[in-house]
Amino acid sequence: MKKKIISFLILIFFTNFQALAKNNHKLVLGEENTNVTIKVFSSLTCSYCARFHLSVFDSLNENYIQNGKVRFEHYAFPLDLAALSAEKMLRCKNDSKKFQLLREIYSKQSTWTKGNDINTINKALKEIGIKFGLTSQEMTNCFNNDKLTNIVLEERINAQKKFNIESTPTIFINDKKYKGSHKFSELEKEIKKKLK
């Protein structure tokens, strides 16, 4: 009986770990079988990434993602420890507000990135996360979670290998590198071509 219980607990742990890894592998919005998939490789401390997300994402979401025409995938490409911490906190938010938290991280980027050390930065990130229902302890656990660190860094390594990322943000539309301007109107032209 004890062996059965232990086996069952191991199965539950393994399943939950797989779910954690899957849930934290990437942030996705939109239908799986769309004609257009946009992949954005970003560092959360990158000001250009923040500018792109804050100026483009809402229009993209409203006009193409919500109606099932476009799938949006955010990929972690942290360029420093601060970006890694922010990404780990973001991955600890496992509900529908994850993209709202991403937006808030970008909009407050100039504030939380001011810290001189990682502890100061994490403290500033916690102030953001608490507003989205994360507890201080949950975020501390995320910052100290080596498995989560490995998930984020593996995502960065795989992106480098597969897509040869040289800077952030790097945008791919249907696995083809987008070289246009980071304006919604220009991105929309490419989307419309793919939807024809």
What tens digit of pLDDT does each residue of 159-182 get? 999 999 989 999 999 999 999 999
- In angstroms, the CA 162 to CA 181 distance is 23
- Over residues 143-161, the mean pLDDT reads 95
- In angstroms, the CA 63 to CA 110 distance is 29
- Over residues 119-138, the mean pLDDT reads 97
User: What pLDDT is attached to residue 192?
Assistant: 96
Give me the residue label for tokens 């980071």. 182
Q: Which fold has domain 27-195?
A: Glutaredoxin (3.40.30)
Q: pLDDT tier at 6 (50, 70, 90 boundaries)?
A: very low
Task: State the sign of the Cα–Cα–Cα–Cα dihedral 160, 166, 168, 172.
Answer: negative
Two tokens, residue 100: 């709202």
Tell me what the pLDDT averaged over the chain comes to.
88
Report yes or no: 159 and 77 within 8 Å, Cβ to Cβ.
yes
Q: pLDDT tier at 26 (50, 70, 90 boundaries)?
A: low
Report yes or no: 105 and 44 within 8 Å, Cβ to Cβ.
yes
What tens digit of pLDDT does each residue of 57-116 get? 999 999 999 999 999 999 999 999 999 999 999 999 877 799 999 999 999 999 999 989
CA distances (Å), 123 to each of 100, 127, 128, 129, 161, in order?
A: 20, 7, 9, 10, 33
Smallest Cα–Cα separation from 62: which of 29, 27, 97?
A: 29
- In angstroms, the CA 94 to CA 112 distance is 22
- In angstroms, the CA 49 to CA 46 distance is 5
User: What pLDDT is attached to residue 94?
Assistant: 79
pLDDT at 16 over 70: no
